[in-house]
Amino acid sequence: MFSALLFVLGVGFSYLIGSVCSAVIVCQLCHLPDPRTEGSKNPGATNVLRLSGKKYATIVLLADMLKGLLPVIIANSLGAGSGLLGFMCLGAVLGHIYPVFFDFKGGKGVATALGALLGLNIVFGVLICLIWFLVAKISHYSSLAAIVALSLTPILVSFFSVSAGAFFPLLIMTCCVLYQHKDNFIRLQKGEEPKIGT
């Protein structure tokens, strides 16, 4: 009973933190275009980059990563099991994608997922972030970098000191993020996907 309550509290806390839409808040505070109605209409760092520049996109990126990092790293430091940590990663990403504070209409969850993975296992998280960066640097496609990095997450997690209990929630997390990129898949195939900074 006690462990079930901890599970619900941990995942619920991650979801609520993930539901804080950084892009919308930053753009409202700084009187910038609303990323939900302008550009790609996605409240994430990439759209903010296109609409308002690197400075504000960096703020949004870091804030979105912190939403995943903080709850997971706090639980990790308190000795939570890998299964709970994995579901907390999933909870934070679901909060970003379906934020309760913003009519359940959020972003694609990439930065929050990367932050959560850093909290789960620093070496593993850095590797996934590095893969994202390298693919983005070479291809200039943020969406392709996200698709490649997140697709490798369930595969590579078994090589690190992360229990098998985290595999299933991380697999679901990956599927959720990839599903949010379904339109990007089509545009990439057609050569119509906008590159970073355009």
pLDDT for residue 10 is more than 80: yes
Separation CA 27–CA 30 (nearest Å): 5
Separation CA 23–CA 36 (nearest Å): 9
pLDDT in tens, 137-169: 999 999 999 999 999 998 888 777 666 778 899
pLDDT for residue 1 is more than 80: no
Left if phi > 0, otherwise alpha if psi is -120 to 50, otherwise beta: which for 103? left
pLDDT for residue 96 is more than 90: yes
Residue extents of the structural domains in the chain = 2-190
pLDDT in tens, 27-79: 999 999 999 999 888 898 989 998 988 999 999 999 999 999 999 999 988 88
- Give how far the C-alpha of residue 62 lies from the chain's centroid of Cα atoms, to the nearest Å: 11
What is the pTM for the complete model shown? 0.92
Cβ(3)–Cβ(11) under 8 Å? no
Q: Which pLDDT band, with edges at 50, 70 and 90, does 12 fall under?
A: very high
Question: Rounded mean pLDDT of the chain?
Answer: 91
pLDDT for residue 176 is more than 60: yes
Q: Which pLDDT band, with edges at 50, 70 and 90, does 22 fall under?
A: very high
Left if phi > 0, otherwise alpha if psi is -120 to 50, otherwise beta: which for 88? alpha
